[in-house]
Chains A and B, each alone.
Chain A
Amino acid sequence: MGNSIATAGYTFVVEESKEVSGEDLGLLQEKLLQLNWGVQHPASGPMRLKVWVDGDEVVKVDPDIGYVLRLLEKLVEYRTWINAIVNVERACFIDNFGTMTGYSIAAEKIAGVKVPKKADYIRTILCEGGRIVSHLIGLGSFVGVLGVHTPMQWALIAREKFLDAFEVYSGQRIATASIVPGGVRYEPTGKFIEKMVTAVDFLENEFIPRYGEVFIDNPTLKVRSVGVGKVSKERAIELGLAGPALRASGVSSDIRKDYPYAAYGELDFKVITKEEGDAYARYLVIWEELIESAKIIRQAIEGLPEGDYRTKFPVKVPAGEAYVNVEWARGCFGFHLISNGGTGPYRLKMRAPSFANLWAIPEMMKNVKLADVPVIFASLYMCHGDIDR
C-alpha cells in the first residue's frame, strides 16, 4: 500500500502557484498546505473556501464565491413593479417570503400605498412559515456536517407539511411569488389555514419534543460545538455578523421587534439571545426561534381580520426612494429601492445577511482546527443564493 494517496493521483497546492504530487508529497510536512474546502465538499454548497493549514491548524481562510451569481439586482431593472418579485424571491428560495415582503414594503413606501390589515397578517403568517422552513433546514444541516444525517430527514418531514400549506395557498411549493406590492396575491382560503394549523400542530406536537429530546442537549454534539468559533458581543458587532449569529453573541437585534413591519407590532413574541457566542449557542438560537415562530403563526391565525387582501398598486410609481430592513430567516435583509417615475424599479440594492456573515469567516477561523471549519461554517447559517445574489 505505502503511499496510497500518491498512487491515487491526488495533487495538493503548496503555494498558490506550485502543485505537488507523487514522490514530492513528503515535502508537504514542512509547508503550509492550501486545501480547497468546496466546491465539491458535502457541506460547502456552491462555494469554495481556500484554507491554508499548518498541520491540523488553520492559518488563513479566503472564501471564493460567485458560483451562483445571477445578478438579480440588474434583472429587477428590466421588470415592472409587480413582476420584480420573481427576481427578488430568488435571492434564496428557502425563505422566499421575507425578501418579497421587504421589497413590497419598500415599493409601497415610495408609492404611498397603504396595505389592508388582512394582507399584513397573511404576510406575517407566510414569513413565519418561511422562517420555520428555513430554520428546519438550518438545524438539520448543522448536525449533518457533524456526520449525522437523521435530523435532516426528520426536519424535512416537518418541512413537507409547511410546503403543503404553501402549495394550497399559491400553487407552488418553493418559489411561491405570493407577496406583491399592494398586499398578497391570493385570498387565504379555509383550506390554507387548515393546512397551516396542521403543519404547526405537527411541528409542536411531534417534531419539537422528539427532536428536542435527542439532538439538543446531546453530549456528542456539545463536544464538537461548545466553545467552537467563539465570538464576544463587541467582536460580533465589529465583525458585522447578522441574524441568529449576532443574537447568539448577546446582541439583541431583531428587526421584527426594533422596527416592526407587517403585523409584528401587534403580536407577542420574544427575541432569542444567548450570551455564549459559540457554535452551539448559534444552533440553540435557531432552535428556540423555531419554537417562537410557531407561536407567532398561531397568534396571527387567531387574529386574522376580515376585509380585502390586496389594494390596487399603481402601474407608474412617482420618483422617490426607500430603504427597508426586514428580519429574514438568516438575518437583517436590507432593500434600497429607487424609482424614477417609471413602470419598474430604477435600482434595487439588496443587503444580504449571509454576505455579511461570510466575510466574518476569515477572522473567525484563525487558529482553529481543520475539523472545526465545517462546524463554524454551518453554525453561521448562510445561504449561497443570498451571498451571490
Chain B
Amino acid sequence: MISKEEVKNIAEIAKLKFGEDELEAFTEKFSLVLDFVHNINKVDTEGIEPCYGISEENGFFKELEEEQTLDREEVLKNTTESEYGYFKILKVVE
C-alpha cells in the first residue's frame, strides 16, 4: 500500500498537482498497480547485469554539419510568449 502523503510527495517531484478527490482515487489505482509490479521481487537476479538497451553496437559520432540548428522564428512559433527572439517567462532573479 502507498499512502496519500507519499503520493503527494511523488507528485511534487513530478511537478504535478492533484485535488483531494483526485488524490484519493489516484492513490487507490496507484496501489493496485504497485501491488502488481512488486511481483518481480521474488526473482533471483544475483550476479545478473542490468540491460539498459538492446543494441550491441557502439555509439557513433555525428558529422559536424553547418547550419544544423533550427530556424529561430520557426521554433518560437510554438511558445506562448516570446520577446526579442527569446522565450519569455516571468522574472526569476531580482
Q: Verify that A and B bind, or say they do not.
A: no
Interface residues of A (CB under 8 A from B): none
Interface residues of B (CB under 8 A from A): none
